[in-house]
Amino acid sequence: MHEAPDIETASGDYAKRFAGPVGAWMLQVQESIVLQLLADDAKASILDVGGGHGQLAIPLCARGFSVTVHGSDLVCAERIQAYLHKGGCRFLTGNILEMPVEDRAYDIVLCFRLLTHCAEWQDLTRELCRIAKHRIIIDYPTSQSVNSIAPALFSAKKRLEGNTRTWRSFTHAEVKKVFAENGFALNSLHKQFFLPMALHRTLRFAPLSRVLEGVCRGLGLTKAYGSPVIGEFIRT
C-alpha cells in the first residue's frame, strides 16, 4: 500500500471542487440517488469507506442514519468533526485495504470518490465485499461515456479546474467481474451526468447545467453514456 487516496478527497482543497451552486447541484444529484437507494434502510448499519469528505456521511447522519466513516488517517475526520462531536457519526482509522473491521460487520458499505483514485482498486473492492453484510454502493467514472476522451483532455481539464488529479475510468464489465468474484452482483446502475463535470464547473451556472443535463437525460444520452455512475451491488 503506497498511497492513501482518501486523505486527499477528505481535504479542504478537494472540497473546493464542489464549492458554489454548481458543486452543490452535483452533490445533490449524487445524494438524491443514494437516499433513494437507502429509503428502506433507516435502521441499517452503514460504513462509509473513505467518506471523510462528508458528501454522504453528513446528509445521512442529519437524517438519522447510523453511519461510521473509515479513513486512512485521523486527518480524514476533520470535515465531519461537528457530527462526531454530536454523536451522530463514528470514525475508524486504518489501512483502507486492511480495515480493522470484522467480516460482514455492516449491513451496507458505501465507497465514493475513492475507487477511481486507488491503484489497488481490486484489493479495495475485495475488502468492501468482506465487510458488507448485504449491500455495497459505490461510484466510479466509466470509459463508456464522454470520459473515453478524458486522457487527451487531461491537460486542459487541469488548467480549467486547477486542482484536478489523475484518475482511472472503468468499464462496467470489469467492475462487475471483480465484485462477482467476491460474491456480489450488480443490482442497479445510476448514471449521473452526460456532459463532463469539468464542463459544468467551467460554465459556473447551475441553472444552465440543470437544463443541459435535463435535455441529455430526456434524449436518453445519460442512460446510454452517463458518468460517473452509482452502482448498487448485493450479496449473492
Return the domain boundaries, the chain: 5-141+168-193+227-231
Predicted confidence at residue 167, as pLDDT, reads 78
Cβ–Cβ < 8 Å for 137, 234? no
CATH code, 5-141+168-193+227-231? 3.40.50.150
- What is the chain's pLDDT, residue by residue, as a tens digit (236 residues)? 455 899 999 999 999 999 999 999 999 999 999 999 999 999 999 999 999 999 999 999 999 999 999 999 999 999 999 999 887 899 999 999 999 999 999 999 999 999 999 999 999 999 999 999 999 999 999 988 876 655 555 455 555 555 555 678 999 999 999 999 999 999 999 999 999 998 999 999 999 999 999 999 999 999 999 999 999 999 99
Predicted confidence at residue 164, as pLDDT, reads 55
* CA nearest neighbour of 77 among 10, 9, 3, 18: 10
* CA nearest neighbour of 1 among 174, 136, 121: 121
Strands 184-191 and 229-235 come out as: antiparallel
Predicted confidence at residue 1, as pLDDT, reads 43
Predicted confidence at residue 154, as pLDDT, reads 47
Strands 66-71 and 45-49 come out as: parallel
User: pTM for the whole thing?
Assistant: 0.91
